[in-house]
Chains A and B, each alone.
Chain A
Amino acid sequence: MAPNVVLVTGVADRIAGRLAAELAADESIERVIGVDPNPPATGLPERVELVAADPRGPLVTRVLRSAGVDTVVHAAPLTGPGQVVGTMRLLAGCQRAGGVRKLVVRSTAEVYGASATSPAVFTEQDVPDGVRRDALEVESHVRGFARRHPEATVTTVRLAELLGSGADSPLARYLALPVVPTALGFDARVQVLHPGDAVAVLRRAVTHDLPGVYNAGGDGVLLLSQAIRRAGRVQLPMPRAAVPAAARLARAELSPDLARLLNYGRVLDTTRLKTAFGYAPRWSTTAAFDDYVHGQRR
């Protein structure tokens, strides 16, 4: 069913903001409402109605009801302590407002974790057991919502690490270090998703009815050592345990999941994205990475 009134959470984030802007440019959508407690860093078009609300508060529920929202895109990045409560509030709001027919959730590949015992390539059927408890909890609440509301279309997309020109992610900040600390004796496989593809995937989930869980990542992989060389940086191997501290010294925070990812690597199977979902990422991992490097040099 075509969306009429769309609510996008986390529009201060680049991906969510660009998604809201693109949806606003779509004439067939009547209203686009952006929710975020913080003001967006980049200007959003006039047509995006901004609501400065904390998703943990009750305001979002009122907006859902009074505006007659039929499509909710939970595009806020899964960072910060309030995400689980925010998601629970949002889902409760959807339930109470009654008019929500579609829910699109931006999840992350971090749900899979990364370890020596992980399969080389994760499919959507693999049981997520990552160290990101909050992301796992958000997904489990979304599954609960889908179970209780079989009439609603619920789409969850698990995005690989975001990297591209101008991307601001922990991985981007880490790779931008002049000397990159790496774990001695490890060389991770890294798969990235270009922000442009991330927006396109979320947008397709809004405009089409595609229930289910989908992995989203660029084609191909780069080894961490290879990526560092392509970026023209120098790697500094050191004992594994010292890497997060060294990165922190250089002001690049590595989350526990990212630190594990940079040891063991993680690759998503995107067959379902290309077939059932019907979207082939335009940037391969290498292309997205080179775009990122190009953006750094400008």
Chain B
Amino acid sequence: MGEAQVIPLPRRELDGPPVTVPRPRPVTRLRQRREAPGLRAFVRNRLTGEYPVDEFGFDPELTDTLLLPPLRAVYEKWFRVTVTGTLPPGGSLVVANHSGTLPWDALMTAVAVRDNHPERRHLRMLGADLVFKVPVLGSLARKSGQTLACRADAVRLLRAGEVVGVWPEGFKGIGKPFHERYRLQRFGRGGFVTTALRAEVPIVPCSIVGAEEIHPKIADLKPLAKLLGLPYFPVTPLFPLLGPLGAIPLPTKWHIHFGDPIRPAPSTPDAADDPAQILEIADTVRDTIQATLDHLVATRPSIF
């Protein structure tokens, strides 16, 4: 496999619709948690195998009872996440920037969507096939609602009215060096736009501030990464120096902003196959996220 190359894009002059930098708005709806089954009922259901699982392997009972509560504690106590903006009701495709060496940003966004979506949806994320090859991780990803990043699965979820999350920068984004923080990488080939057009759902640009500084990656041990079959092997000020302790993320203060939904209005019926339209919409989404990131980073009082 070739080495993923980071290709910084020149900041494009906008000739399309101007990107408006949204002012942070308070979340309109108060958090309300769905009644999770009591612990006793949960254990009983586990033992008898009496719980629903959808065709992707998503187990909402397990997710809400065991997986989300510890993540919610990290979300509230460690990263102290502030959420602004709103998510549209019904199915949508949440497109976010990826960073932080370890995918804490994805986990925190999952909590943010679960607690702030008007219909209290779970975020269904699309993961690299690497995730599904790894024992434990793969089955845990499926049970918590994630699926393979392929168009068939994404369109199927969106048509069913689910909220789907994608990180178009992929490993290039999450594994980028610290000095490139808050600079969006290439957005693949805009596959997410085709998916949204096919499923006829809005795209929600999501900007995440704070994840960049949790594991400042200052070097990459490429031979070791290759040996372990990983996309990168990070060196941070604390890792591998402090061993497992160094893998604890720094307690930065986070801000997740869900931007106004972009409803791709295809000018032709076959826009989903038209590279010009796909790339234009992908650039609009990318520029929106970049502009919001710049604004939020410039106005935040402190990293911590």
Contacts and interface: CB of A to CB of B under 8 A. Distances in A.
Interface of A: 116-121, 123, 126, 183-187, 189, 191, 220-223, 225-230, 240, 264-265, 267
B47 to A, nearest CB: 6
Those 3 A-B pairs whose CB atoms lie nearest each other, nearest first? A185-B135, A229-B49, A230-B49
B54 to A, nearest CB: 7
B304 interface: no
A228 B135 CA distance: 19
B55 A189 contact: yes
7 contacts: A121-B156, A184-B135, A186-B138, A187-B139, A189-B56, A223-B53, A229-B47
B133 interface: yes
Contact of B143 (A121, A187, A229): A187
A116 B59 CA distance: 19
Contacts of A117: 129, 132, 148, 150
Nearest to A121: B55
B133 A116 contact: yes
Nearest to A185: B135
B135 A119 contact: no
Given A119-B153, A121-B153, A226 B49 contact: yes
A228 B134 CA distance: 22
Interface string B119-155: 0000000000100111111110011000110101100
B196 to A, nearest CB: 18
A56 B194 CA distance: 49
Interface string B27-64: 00000000000000000001111111111110100000
A117 B133 CA distance: 8
A221 B49 contact: no
Contacts of B156: 120-121
Contacts of A116: 129, 132-133, 138, 148
A119 B136 CA distance: 19
B152 A223 contact: no
A221 B54 contact: yes
A126 B55 contact: no
Contact of B57 (A126, A227, A230, A265): A265
A161 to B, nearest CB: 15
Contact of A189 (B53, B148, B153): B53
Contacts of B129: 116-117
A49 to B, nearest CB: 42
Nearest to B151: A119
B57 to A, nearest CB: 5
Contacts of B134: 185
A191 B138 CA distance: 19
B138 A221 contact: no
A120 B53 contact: no
Contacts of B135: 183-186, 240
A179 B59 CA distance: 24
Contacts of A264: 132
Nearest to A225: B49
Contacts of A221: 53-55, 57
Contacts of A184: 135-136
